[in-house]
A and B are shown apart, each in its own frame.
Chain A
Amino acid sequence: MAANNSVNISFTVNGERFNNINVPSRQHLADYLRSQGFTGTHLGCEQGACGACTIEMDGKAVRSCLVLASQANGTNLKTVEGFDDEMMEKVKQNFLKHNAFQCGFCSPGMLMTTKEILLNKKKLTRDEIRSEISGNYCRCTGYQSIVDAIEECINEIN
């Protein structure tokens, strides 16, 4: 069993450099990030079904529970703690305004999915928004308030 094997990698998280880090070869990226204090990345199912652990890897949304930490070698990662640009601040204000979260456990993943929707710069109908976020599970809200918030973000951007 290669339980103790490790891999030496370098990457950045929210602009912070991680140089020549040894990560266990079997550890997934979400576990590694959480172990380093990036606890905004949440784990809901560890099989890619719930979307809570969604983060940004080189500009693309990935399920950090389905990516090995070692696969982050050479990449730039962004977690919810790093969502602080003007667009994401606006998104957060709309989430707050519409109460688009209750317990907050799904929010990091939901924000990342929202970011991807907004970067595509497409005008979407409510049904299309629902389709876009259908990979992110939220048990609290029933989704309507999240759709409201994203709809307002789209209207502001386009």
Chain B
Amino acid sequence: MDDIKVNQNPKLGSLDRPNSYIGRSLPRENAKKHLDGGGQFVDDLTLPRMVHVAFLRSPFAHAEIKSINTNDAKKSDGVIDIFTAKEIDEVCKPWIGTLGHLGEMRSPEQTPLAKKIARWQGEPVAVVIADSRAQAEDALELIEVDWVEKEAQVNMETALDSNAVIIHPELGNNLFWTRTVNQGDVEKAFKEADAIVETTLDFARHTGVTLESRGIVADWNKAENKMTIYHNGQAPHMMQHIIAKHLDLNEGLVRIVSRDVGGSFGIKVHVYPDEMAVTAISKKIGRPVKFIADRLESFTTDIHARCHKISGKLGVDKNGKILAMEIDDLSGIGPFSMYPRTSAIETNQVLNLSGAPYVIPNYKAVGTVVFQNKTPMCQYRAVGHPIAVAITEALIDKAAYKINMDIDKIRKINFIPDNAYPNKCPSGVPLEDLSHEASMDKLLEIMDIKEIEAQKEEDLKKGVLTGHGVISMCEVTNPSPLFYGVGGAHISSQDGASIRLEGSGAIHLSSSITEQGQGTEAIMKQIAADQLGVEMESVRVTLGDTDATPYGGGTWASRGAGIGGEAVLKAARKLKDNILNIAAAIMQTDKDTLDIEDNNVIRKNGGEGISLKKLAETVYYRGHELPKGTNAELLATASFLIEGIPFVFTNSAMGCQVSIDQDTGIIKINKFWAVEDCGTQINPKLVEEQIRGGVIQGIGGALFEECVYDDQGNMQNATMADYLVPMAYEMPDIIVDHVTTNSGRSIIGAKGAGEAGTGGAPAVIMNAINNALKQVNAEVVSQPITPEKILKALGKI
């Protein structure tokens, strides 16, 4: 067994006891199947009479569909049928991607297949159903569409101009949503400031690039009126509701099964038109239908993220105290707001989270979200955080440089003090249980800034530009109903766990949280075994099946451990209480004298106990031996929900050092440090791996990743050879450390840890690069920061 990490949560009991698993870096034995080739991904499933589909997608960003002729295609080998919007719409009702709690959102009805007009390159317009995917693709080439290409509104910056192409004429213009936050009096405060700094940052569109693409098998069983969907999604109960609602099915007779999922990162939590079409096809033809997106389809139809241009202004006094901050953010979301979470949330998070670690008494933020003829944009890992953190931290560095103050010192004097919680973001969003001061102190301790400064000077003598940065940030985790439910979305914020002792003595646990590789199953097992007092090996876990698990929200917004984990803890404690009551009755003793260790009920003062196996056998097979009236309940369920605040925030401090080759513009990340405070760590190794994976995704956005479009709205790099993702060689080792401030909202005290890395890395990388470039009076303000942009900043090209 691995070393015990110091666990600072007294509510969880002593670590010095048998079956103490919370806080230990145990390997994920359950996941070894993946190393044996035994995962069960959606594409691994074959059902009798299953058919395959291929979609005809718009080759244009904006075009009228005059007519579609499928006569020749229908005669192609293996083709069963070909549908257009007309046939699909008979089965599936349209949806609208708006919510009611964030002010007016305007987005039109969307249908699975485009009708009359296609609005992004990749939008599905017709679908071939065939015996094999290859045959379906053959037939695609025989479909004749009479297209009339229209001018496309590609650039978000001109989307509200008077001569813009109006994508949805019924809306009058291309505005989807706008919000203004105004706290205090920024104008007055800026007048009083001793120094004012400003910047404008660009963030390109990028996307999730899950290695396993989106996939679905829909299986309509007419005899049972039941729809079973095998789907690599993150929120099975949300999908159950949506499929029932739009296909007019009995929701109780829709089953969503999400087995192994090959990465999700928020990409797989949305409702996609092609997946809705697949369910409609199965309903229509009464056969199982499989759709697995190929990589081109992934790049042009998986949601994109970011696509922001943000201007910011910060005013400080001569001592470095922040007086005011103002931001103005513009974002382009493609032609539709995604359903059901909407495409407003990224901008909303930018407004909510900018300046979050700091005391900023005067804050103004404006967000504007517009339509454009590109792939729809929506929530992806660390929603909005990279933009909010980068603008805040870039402005703070600029202010430090302007008043000649150290970059760590200016942060320290402006932090909301660790002992001043509960508190609020500058935007007014409530904060509690955070540790920016302690986390920054720990970061500076592990970074050794003096050595870094010395190396910077040495490198400059050799012509190498070396620089470093430090940042602080808050991460949204464990959301309450105030995130989506309050706006009318059927997305559960409560999660459940059900746990039972079986006749064999085995423990079975089911949870509404899902697994996409984070280690959900492993940590649920750890919590259950720890709280019950049984060996890990005796716990079996079921996830990702609406017929077999409790109802709940699933996995997104870093909510699995903090919400789902608490439900498991509560259920395990209930079951333990039940077991001890039964044991006390069998053993004719007081319950308080008993405990459970290593799968046995023991007498705390010594003497013979009873194994859980024997106890279960007595209950299930020889119940007549129990004293009359014994409540022999060996099944316990519990639920958990965050109440009273919108989110449970975590905080992180990150640092990095980069070197820039002035001849090539190539950036090398020499070192990267992250200090995370996510409260109780159920499995510290898994927390660290979430941080590392997240940081690397953030580095991808900062340095490499971009969905490149031409002026006509054609995506130019929709292959894995052309779209650059982080590969092993360019990536650094990442040093991770922790501060622990437990969440007071739960017994387990865990917050989320899945997104901070992705949210913070772009800011600290950019600050480090600009720290290096400052030596030659250069600066970059656009991500991804490519070698070309560096060379331009250096005036070399």
Contact = CB atoms under 8 A, between A and B. Distances in A.
Partners in one complex: yes
A43 B294 CA distance: 9
Interface residues of B, number: 56
Interface string B211-225: 111000000000000
Nearest to A107: B34
Contacts of A99: 27-28, 519, 685-686, 689
A79 to B, nearest CB: 7
A5 interface: no
A144 B693 CA distance: 9
Interface stretch (A47-55, A68-76, A117-125): A47-55
* Dominant SS among interface residues on chain B: loop
A47 B729 contact: no
Contact of B729 (A43, A105, A130): A130
Contacts of B260: 103-104
B35 A44 contact: no
B262 A105 contact: yes
Contacts of A139: 208-211, 263, 265, 693, 697, 725
Nearest to B693: A142
B720 A130 contact: no
A47 B134 CA distance: 16
Contact of A96 (B28, B212, B689, B734): B28
Interface in A28-68: 34, 38-47, 49-50, 52
Interface string A1-14: 10110000000000
B696 interface: yes
B35 A137 contact: no
B517 A106 contact: no
A106 B31 contact: no
Contacts of B689: 99, 102, 141-142, 145
A92 B36 contact: yes
A81 B35 CA distance: 9
Interface in B729-751: 729, 731, 733-734
Interface stretch (B37-45, B168-176, B537-545): B37-45
Nearest to A95: B35
A101 B516 CA distance: 11
A143 B31 contact: no
B211 A92 contact: no
Interface string B258-285: 0011110100000000000000000000
A144 B431 CA distance: 33
A44 B211 contact: yes
B279 to A, nearest CB: 23
Interface-central residue, B138, B260, B517, B719, by most chain A CB under 10 Å = B517
Contact-size category for A: 35 or more
B190 to A, nearest CB: 40
A134 B35 contact: no
Contact of A133 (B41, B43, B209, B728): B728
A154 interface: no
B211 A101 contact: no
Contacts of A79: 37
Interface string B689-709: 100111111000000000000
B77 A46 contact: no
B263 A42 contact: no
Interface string A105-132: 1111001000000000000001101110
A47 B209 CA distance: 15
A45 B720 CA distance: 7
B1 interface: no
Contact of A42 (B261, B262, B721, B729): B262
Nearest to A141: B693
A133 B719 CA distance: 20
B786 interface: no
Given A43-B43, A105-B263, A137 B725 contact: yes
B29 interface: yes
Contacts of B212: 42, 44, 103, 105
B263 to A, nearest CB: 5
Contacts of B719: 45, 47, 49
B34 A142 contact: no
B518 interface: yes
B263 A40 contact: no
Contacts of A34: 43-44
B207 to A, nearest CB: 11
B27 A137 contact: no
B245 interface: no
Contacts of B262: 42, 103-105
B727 A134 contact: yes
Contacts of A80: 35-37
A140 interface: yes
Contacts of A41: 37
B295 interface: yes
Contacts of B213: 44
Contacts of B38: 40, 81
A2 B519 CA distance: 46
A81 B39 CA distance: 11
A142 B43 contact: no
Nearest to B736: A144
A49 B721 contact: yes
Contacts of A40: 36-39
B692 A141 contact: yes
B138 A1 contact: yes
B718 to A, nearest CB: 11
B32 interface: yes
B720 A44 contact: yes
Contact of B696 (A49, A97, A143): A143
Contacts of A141: 689, 692-693, 696
B211 A103 contact: yes
Given A42-B41, A44-B720, A101 B34 contact: yes
Contacts of B696: 141-143
Given A44-B295, A140-B693, A105 B41 contact: yes
Contact of A3 (B29, B134, B518, B693): B134
A130 B732 CA distance: 10
Given A27-B134, A42-B262, A133-B728, A142 B695 contact: yes
A153 interface: no
A79 B518 CA distance: 25
7 contacts: A4-B77, A83-B36, A96-B35, A108-B37, A137-B720, A142-B696, A143-B728
Closest 3 interchain pairs by CB?
A40-B37, A104-B34, A103-B517
Given A42-B211, A45-B295, 18 more contacts: A34-B43, A34-B44, A39-B43, A42-B212, A45-B720, A99-B519, A103-B211, A103-B517, A105-B212, A106-B211, A107-B35, A130-B728, A141-B689, A142-B692, A142-B696, A143-B727, A143-B731, A144-B733
Interface of B: 27-29, 31-39, 41, 43-44, 77, 134-135, 138, 208-213, 260-263, 265, 294-295, 516-519, 685-686, 689, 692-697, 719-721, 725-729, 731, 733-734
